[in-house]
Amino acid sequence: MVDEDAVGTVGRDFARSELDYTPWFFWDRAGDTAKHRQLALQDALAGERAYRLGERCFVSELSSVTNETLELGDRSYVAAGAYLSGSLRAGRDCTINPYTVVRGEIRLGNAVRIGAHTSLIGFNHTMADPDVEVHRQATTAKGITIGDDVWIGSHVVVLDGVTVGDKSVLAAGAVVTKDVPAGAVVGGNPARVIKWRTGPDRPQRRPDGDLAGAVTQFADAAREQAAGIIDRYWDGGTRLFSDQPGAAPTVRAQCDAIEVADLLLGGPPPRLDAAELTDLLRSWQDPATGLVGELGEGHRPTPPEATVFTWPAGYHVLCVGYALDLLGSRFAHPVTVVAEASAADVMDGLRRQDWTDEVWSSGAWVDELGTALHQNARMGAANSPGALEALFGWLLTNADPHTGMWGRAGGPDGLLQVVNGYYRATRGTFAQFGHPVPYADRVIDTVLAHSRDVRYFAPVRQNACNVLDVAHPLWLTRRSGHRSEEVVELARRLLADALRHWTPDQGFGFQAPHPTTASLPATAPSLQGTEMWLAIIWLLSDLAGLSGQLGYRPRGVHRPEPARPR
């Protein structure tokens, strides 16, 4: 035991600071005087700064702690020389060792062990204007989130915006610039996965050991809870649906509520009948352009731009059009801005898309254009001669024979942009019109390669967009037979993961729920997340030969078959 009252004069200065540098020994080895002094310090920090410190915590008097918010769980400590500022929320058994820098918006899970001389920097400088000195420009802050049971070695740097998954290890000297999957061991500059402590490359345990039974159990529970879930997103004051409770109503939320109700209840949402919903959605269409703007003052759509297309009016062509279809109706007017677009306008629009770095948004533009052309034709409104042929001709002649897709593969996002853009582009064209896609085998190769990217397909990193954009292309090309065993195995793995994302009585969030991402709005259950994951589960189940266990089949935006003629 090191007790300041018991050491000699010569050793007192050394003994006084020993436990500041080895604080894991403090509560076992410190004398009563030191313990009382530490508790008094913690009481002062709690009273004067509203810090929240758990049982048997330790904060060295030789550290610099200037946080606006500080929360330390039981048995967590801050050693000598540490520099803390901003907002730090840490769970139990966390260590901030000597000379560690923790600044900005930082969240630590339980049992996060941080080695000496490591820096967690939850903000960044901007340098947009080269004529202004960097220190005079604004800073930005996204924050850093560290999961449970994470070991961070000495001399590690973690930069702003990074999420580190549970049970991962950041090797000494690593410079971490991107998210770290759960269970990964990363090292180097920039840090890369070098092996796995646990992780997505290991076989995943199936729910209840029986995937078919798990699908049936999920479907039964979802139908039983459906009415209450839909009601959760209903705003009685506006008589409209919101994507999340307390959020402002949106056009899409009405459509998602209609789709979820159709899937699980076989009819319109319980709060409104089909006729009332039909009248509402048809009244929102601008007769001059045929588009539906976002809701504004008085919960009425703002006038949309008369262009092909701008967000969110472009997506409303899809969601409102298909919601009306589910209600047995259709738009009151043609999508005029598309009906009047010539073949030359279509070609010009395709060329203006960024097929290099923004393939998803380019594919979305194609999706919205193809859907509007299809809806106009279904209601008997004439499109400009050659416009549809120009769209398909461009897609067929510009598909990459190596990937089967459009846009450039590679870059920091890997295959994410081209695969996600492929789903949007083919959904509104080849899938919706019932035409075969070019280079189907290459598409399968590309999707299977993309699915091995743990940044997007480790269970903790999954979101509805990324999984849908893999499931639909594989379903669209399923008759090829190419690498069919691998396709089925991937579908089963993603299906097992998807079933775990369900939150009882609330539905699905857009992003998979996990303790390391719990603060993100995208993980909270929503109408959008519920509608998308229900469709994803059907597509994956069908690829795995299990869709008969579900008792539903998507008929709206995410329908698997071509849109039916009217």
Give the relative orientation of helices 527-543 and 211-232 as an angle to the nearest 10 degrees. 160
In sequence order, the 6+-apart residues with CB closer than 8 A to the CB of 118 are: 97, 100, 101, 152, 153, 154, 155, 156, 157, 158
Residue 51 contacts residue 45 (beta carbons within 8 Å): yes
Residue 319 carries which side chain, given as an amino acid letter?
A: C
Using CA atoms, how far apart are residues 334 and 291, in angstroms rounded to an integer?
9
Taken as a whole, the chain contains a residue count of: 566
In sequence order, the 6+-apart residues with CB closer than 8 A to the CB of 417 are: 357, 358, 359, 360, 407, 411
* Cα first-last separation, the chain: 86
Q: Please, what is the Cα angle at 230 between 225 and 231, to 5 degrees?
A: 100
In sequence order, the 6+-apart residues with CB closer than 8 A to the CB of 231 are: 270, 271
Handedness of CA 547, 258, 337, 421 (dihedral sign): negative
Query: What positions carry a catalytic annotation?
Result: 125
Residue 338 contacts residue 308 (beta carbons within 8 Å): yes
- Here the tokens at position 541 are 């189940």
Q: Please, what is the Cα angle at 397 between 391 and 403, to 5 degrees?
A: 110
Residue 330 contacts residue 384 (beta carbons within 8 Å): no
